[in-house]
Structure 1
Amino acid sequence: MGAAPRHVLAELLKPLLPLAWRIVPYQVTLDSPATVVVMLKQTRIERTAAAPQGAHDIGFTVTISSPHDDFEKAEDALDDQVNTLIHALDGLGIAWTTAEKVLDGTRLAYDITLTLISKKE
């Protein structure tokens, strides 16, 4: 990967997600988003086991947050939205491990853990 893995992941996801969704490739605090937010948080870098020198596992937490303040509306919407996101990851062949319901500030969200492999070019 020549570009930063966060940006590569954002570009891969962009055509597979609804146009109204906002992909944020940085860990930031958003006050009151008007749409679904998919935030990409790079969490760790590890040497890829049993791989040649220069291969790294890049760990991410991808958070999908609802813009709804009403938790019932947020939960109903997130049920479908998290499935849309994990099916997009599956379609890209990206290994994700869990999707866990969390609070993102005061908004209902899911944290999805995944790993990309980066190789020196």
Structure 2
Amino acid sequence: MKPSYIIMAAVFAVSSPALANENWQEKDTNGDGQLSRAEHDAGVAAAWTAKDADGNGQLSTAEAGMKAGTHWTAADTDGDGQLSQSEFTAMKAAWFSKADTDGDGSISKAEHDAAKAMKKR
């Protein structure tokens, strides 16, 4: 491995927690330490706009950053192999509901991190 790759890998490894916190801070727009449903929904809308690169109103697996599999199939309720905006929004809403383990209508940083960790399994 070239020295520059080693340095880049080391910088990424050290900065990853900081990047995760920056992402949280971007989502928690009012800075109260909770991700409200409104903040979540605004983030989902922004993500849709950013991900629908070709502007056709559908997300491919590549645009969505997902792999075809059970999670994709469950979200693709009409079975056309792509996600519509309503399917994408419903998938994200289901994630929010599952992540809100205490049922208070918002997600704490701890709930967010736990839900993200479960998703990676």
Q: What's the TM-score, normalizing by structure 2? A: 0.32
Instruction: Name the structure where helix makes up a greater proportion of residues.
Output: 2
TM-score, normalised via structure 1 length: 0.32
Q: Which has the larger radius of gyration?
A: 2
Relative to total residues, which structure has the larger strand share, 1 or 2?
A: 1
Between 1 and 2, higher relative CO (CA 8 Å, sep ≥ 6) is seen in 1
